[in-house]
C-alpha cells in the first residue's frame, strides 16, 4: 500500500539579497509500506531538504505530497505534528539523544506524546524495545557512557518505539566504524522488517546504499533512479518488500506487552 507519494515536488527558498533558490524541482517518488529505499547525492544536492519533506517537517513550495492519502499542504501544523509523531521515526548521524537522560528515558520520550494506552505503558514498551536492540542490560545507562554503536541502537529503539510506518535514516552510520555501522544497519533493517515499516536511508556511503532494494540519487535537485550499471550494487530480492504488510499484520498479532 502506498505510504507517501511525491508528485512534481519542488522546494524553493527565498533569499534576502539574491533570487530565490530552487533546491528541489519536480521530484516524483512513491514509497510503499515496507519499502527499502536509499538516496545518495553530493553535498548540497538537496538530501536534507528532501528528508524534511518526507518527514513532514516542511511543506513543498510546488507539487503535492500525500501521506497515507492525505494531502500534506492541506493539513494544519498540529495535525501534521501528530501524524509525524505517530507515523515517522528519525535516525540521525549524531544520534541526537537527550544528554543527562538514561537510555530508557530517551526511548520513552516519543511515548510521552501518545494519547493512547502506550502513554501509560511507556516504560514497559521502551524496555521491550531496548531489549530488542540488544540493550536490555543497559536501560539506566547514560548516553555519554555508551559507545557510538550503542547510542545509535538507543536512537533506533527510540525511533521505532511508536511503531512508525516510515523510518527516515539520515547518514545513520556516518559516526560509526565500518563494522559497527553494518551491524547497526542490519539491526535497523531487521526491526523495520518485523514491524513492516518502510526504511529510507540517506547516505554518502555506497556500501550502505546498496543494502536497499531501490536506489535513487539526487542530482541538482532532481531524483534519478539508479539501476543497471549505475546502481551501487546488486539489489537483494524485491520480495522482501512485497511481503511487508503481511509482516505488519503478523506483528500486530504479537502479545500485548510489545505492542504500542
Ligand atoms: N533555508 C535555506 N536557505 C538558503 N539556502 C538553503 C536553505 N536550505 C538549504 N539551502 C541550500 O540548498 C542546498 C541543498 O541543501 P541540503 O541541506 O538539502 O543539501 P544536502 O544534500 O543535505 O547537503 P549535505 O550532504 O552537505 O548535508 C544547499 O546549497 C544549501 O545551502
Q: Name the residue ranges covered by the structural domains of the chain.
A: 2-258
- CA dihedral sign, ordered 71, 171, 114, 245: positive
Whether 199 and 192 have beta carbons less than 8 Å apart is answered as: yes
Q: Is the pLDDT of residue 138 over 70?
A: yes
Mutate to test the pocket of ligand 1, among 10, 16, 42, 49 (most ligand atoms within 8 A of CB): 49
User: Are β-strands 70-71 and 62-67 bridged in parallel, bridged antiparallel, or unpaired?
Assistant: antiparallel
Cα-to-centroid distance, 60 and ligand 1 (Å): 15
Class of 2-258 per CATH? alpha beta
Distance of CA 158 to the CA centre of its chain: 11
Cα maximum dimension of the chain: 58
CA-proximal residue: ligand 1, atom 24 (nearest): 43
> Mean pLDDT lowest for which of 4-18, 65-79, 245-259?
245-259
What contacts 153, CB < 8 A, 6 or more positions away? 133, 134, 135, 184, 187
Q: What are phi and psi of 164, to 5 degrees?
A: -65, 155
User: What ipTM is given for this predicted complex?
Assistant: 0.96
Alpha-carbon gap, residue 155 to 176, rounded angstroms? 13
pLDDT category at 252 given cuts 50, 70, 90 is: very low
User: Would the CB of 20 count as within 6 Å of ligand 1?
Assistant: no
Residue range 8-61, pLDDT digits in tens: 999 999 999 999 999 999 999 999 999 999 999 998 899 999 999 999 999 999
Label the pairing between strands 18-32 and 166-170.
Answer: unpaired
Q: How far is the CA of 49 from the centre of ligand 1 (A)?
A: 7
pLDDT band at 113 (very low <50, low <70, confident <90, very high): confident
Amino acid at each position: 500500500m502506498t505510504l507517501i507519494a511525491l508528485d512534481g515536488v519542488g522546494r524553493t527558498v527565498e533569499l534576502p539579497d539574491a533570487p530565490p533558490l530552487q533546491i528541489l524541482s519536480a521530484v516524483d517518488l512513491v514509497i510503499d509500506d515496507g519499502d527499502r529505499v536509499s538516496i545518495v547525492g553530493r553535498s548540497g544536492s538537496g538530501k536534507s531538504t528532501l528528508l524534511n519533506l518526507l518527514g513532514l517537517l516542511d511543506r513543498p513550495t510546488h507539487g503535492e505530497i500525500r501521506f497515507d492519502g492525505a494531502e500534506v499542504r492541506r493539513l494544519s501544523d498540529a495535525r501534521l505534528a501528530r501524524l509525524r509523531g505517530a507515523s515517522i521515526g528519525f535516525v540521525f548521524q549524531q544520534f541526537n539523544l537527550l544528554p543527562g537522560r538514561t537510555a530508557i528515558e530517551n526511548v520513552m520520550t516519543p511515548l510521552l506524546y501518545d494519547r493512547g494506552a502506550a502513554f501509560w505503558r511507556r516504560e514497559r514498551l521502551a524496555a521491550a524495545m531496548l531489549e530488542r536492540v540488544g540493550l536490555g542490560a543497559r536501560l539506566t545507562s547514560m548516553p555519554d557512557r555508551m559507545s557510538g554503536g550503542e547510542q545509535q541502537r538507543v536512537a533506533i529503539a527510540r525511533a521505532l518505539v511508536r511503531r512508525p510506518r516510515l523510518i527516515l535514516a539520515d547518514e545513520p552510520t556516518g559516526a560509526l566504524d565500518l563494522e559497527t555501522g553494518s551491524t547497526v544497519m542490519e539491526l535497523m533493517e531487521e526491526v523495520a522488517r518485523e514491524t513492516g515499516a518502510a526504511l529510507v536511508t540517506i547516505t554518502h556511503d555506497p556500501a550502505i546504499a546498496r543494502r536497499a532494494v531501490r536506489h535513487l540519487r539526487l542530482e541538482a535537485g532532481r531524483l534519478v533512479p539508479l539501476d543497471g550499471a549505475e546502481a551501487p550494487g546488486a539489489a537483494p530480492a524485491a520480495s522482501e518488500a512485497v511481503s511487508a504488510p503481511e509482516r505488519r499484520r503478523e506483528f500486530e498479532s504479537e502479545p500485548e506487552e510489545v505492542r504500542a
